Structure 1
Amino acid sequence: MNTVNSLFKSQLRSLLIASLLSSAVMGGAYAQQSGLPINAAASVNGMIITNDMVEQGIKMALSQGQKDSPELRQAVVQKYIEVLLLSQRAEKDGLADSERANTQLMLIRQNYLADLELSTFMAKNPITDADVQAEYNKEIASLGPQGMLVEYKVSDIAVATEADAQAALNRIKKGEPFDKVARSVSLAPNKVQGGAIGWVQAGQVSPQIAAVLVNLGKGQVSQSPIQMQQGWYLIKLEDKKSSKPPSFEQAKAAIRNGMAQRKQMDFLSQLAKDSKIVVQ
């Protein structure tokens, strides 16, 4: 079912053929007469498309701006039918046992399980409203007597070793643009943006980064590589600004998201610490 969901998600925007379902989709009473389980929307050669699967598809469509309607629901079921028809034919053609299929199915399974583990962890370790309020109070207190919010526009370069970071820093000191070096050597996804991260507050980054960031002037690059658990970093302060802090109501969503990300990163860091990881 997860494979079907993943395939469906990649094709969701092509839900344009609802009229084809007039003879394929069955109402609840007709489904029971046809021997389908009560929770079944349809079946393809005996493989059930459940109403729960359809609801997941509807949620995906709604998240992409579609409007709920009987026609959309019919189109969702039709898309599941098409995916099942194709996947069943792939099974008959022996494609399911190919190396390519096995690799993709493994990745789909691993990604799903990773998302499931994180969501389960967060459900067991929720961030309460009191936690968010306490974090907000802490951030406001950290602003100092002037009570102004300081934000930093940052770019970074992430590499695997101190030697790699020092080599990148030497290129920058010789006059090579930071963004060019980032595109050349950084291992982070933002390398395609020249290492650009955007605006952050000191409390939103790791203590190691924050300690360097707050002492940089506009346009300056960290004078030495910064060691993190994930690797070695160089940072550049592109710009800096001060503003009045938002109210709790304005800030609570962002604070909750930031706390959730930190909680997840701490969880991942602990998993990595307790595991044996070998990288080529």
Structure 2
Amino acid sequence: MKYSIIRWCSCLALSSTLIAPAFSQGTLPPNAAASVNGVIISNDTVEQGIRSALAQGQKDSPELRKAVLGKLIEISLLSQQADKNGLADSEKANRQLALIRQNYLADLELSTFIANNPVSDADVQAEYNREIASLGAQGMIVEYKVSDIAVATEADAQAALARIKKGESFDKVAKSVSLAPNKTQGGLVGWVQAGQTLPQIAAVLVTLSKGQVSPAPIQMPQGWYLIKLDDKKSSKPPSFEQAKAGIRNGLVQKKQFEYLSQLRQGAAIVVQ
């Protein structure tokens, strides 16, 4: 197995091998999968690694479990050696560990919020009914193939729009200035329904013709956007059983976005 396949192990090591209590060699406490120089790797940590590997498309097997445990052992050995070499107290290590802690706590806060404010089956059914009703008499789903450009300020968005109006392709400008990860694909988002986008985007999207770019920048909580309608198509709606997983995910994302917007409104944020 390639060394980069299970990158998540570096985070798992922080919560298991680095801060687990030490035990004497040859004895393992309950729920221990292995001991590396007396530092325990728990079965829970191994199972977490297995779940992460499965989420990446790998299949559960004895070979995978052996590889996960082997990777955790390697990481424990390396981290212990780094500690011996004084790297654990370096500025670089402290900065990275602080970032890992921050990211973990952010994920934990979002997951805890959703656990305390779950999307119910009734919510999913109501949203499906609402979406079906919104299709009108023809009962067809309209999907939009969209590309976007995300920048930090309105001035940046206006500058990008001016370049497009002068004849530069949306794809080229996106690769040049967009701050979103999809910039490498020329800003391509893919096929979406208007209801799957945020209201600010949806309000503009439904007015565009194929090939048209939003006539003005769109302000969002995280920055300013330009969108382009690459294509448009209609299709019959899926059944509730076919749609419910996607609807649930969309409602969860909506709850997360609303929670983050609430936190932003109550925060003192200063950007250089």
Residue in 2 that maps onto 1:96:
88
- How far 1:11 sits from its partner (Å)? 7.8
For structure 1, which segment, 58-67 or 200-209, has the greater mean C-alpha deviation from structure 2 after superposition? 58-67
Distance 1:200 1:11 in 2: 30
Contact kept, 8 Å, 1:8 with 1:83, in 2: the verdict is no
59, 66, 72: which one aligns with 1:66? 59
Residue in 2 that maps onto 1:266:
258
Contact kept, 8 Å, 2:8 with 2:49, in 1: the verdict is no
Distance 2:186 2:67 in 1: 42
Instruction: Give aligned-pair identity as a percent.
Output: 73
Distance 1:47 1:267 in 2: 39
Change (3 A) 1:188 1:252: same
Contact kept, 8 Å, 1:118 with 1:264, in 2: the verdict is yes
Aligned length: 255
Distance 2:184 2:68 in 1: 35
168, 187, 191: which one aligns with 1:199? 191
Query: Secondary structure of 2:244's match?
Result: helix
Change (3 A) 1:190 1:77: closer
TM superposition score normalised by structure 2? 0.86
Query: Secondary structure of 1:216's match?
Result: coil
Residue in 1 that maps onto 2:37:
45
Equivalent positions of 1:130-149 (< 5 A) are: 130-149=122-141
Distance 1:237 1:55 in 2: 43
Unaligned runs of 5+ in 1: 1-6, 13-30
Change (3 A) 1:178 1:11: closer
RMSD across aligned positions (CA): 2.2
- How far 1:46 sits from its partner (Å)? 2.5
Distance 2:169 2:67 in 1: 51
Contact kept, 8 Å, 1:190 with 1:196, in 2: the verdict is yes
Change (3 A) 1:74 1:271: same
Unaligned runs of 5+ in 2: 10-22
**Which is higher, the Rg of structure 1 or of structure 2?**
1
Equivalent positions of 1:110-189 (< 5 A) are: 110-189=102-181
Q: Deviations over 1:73-115 (max 9, x none)?
A: 4443333222212211110110111222112211211111111
Residue in 2 that maps onto 1:222:
214
Letter of the aligned partner of 2:168 in structure 1?
E
Contact kept, 8 Å, 1:32 with 1:38, in 2: the verdict is no
Query: Secondary structure of 1:240's match?
Result: strand
Letter of the aligned partner of 1:154 in structure 2?
V
- How far 1:41 sits from its partner (Å)? 2.3
Distance 2:54 2:149 in 1: 37
Q: Deviations over 1:166-224 (max 9, x none)?
A: 11111111111111111111122211111111111111112221111111111111111
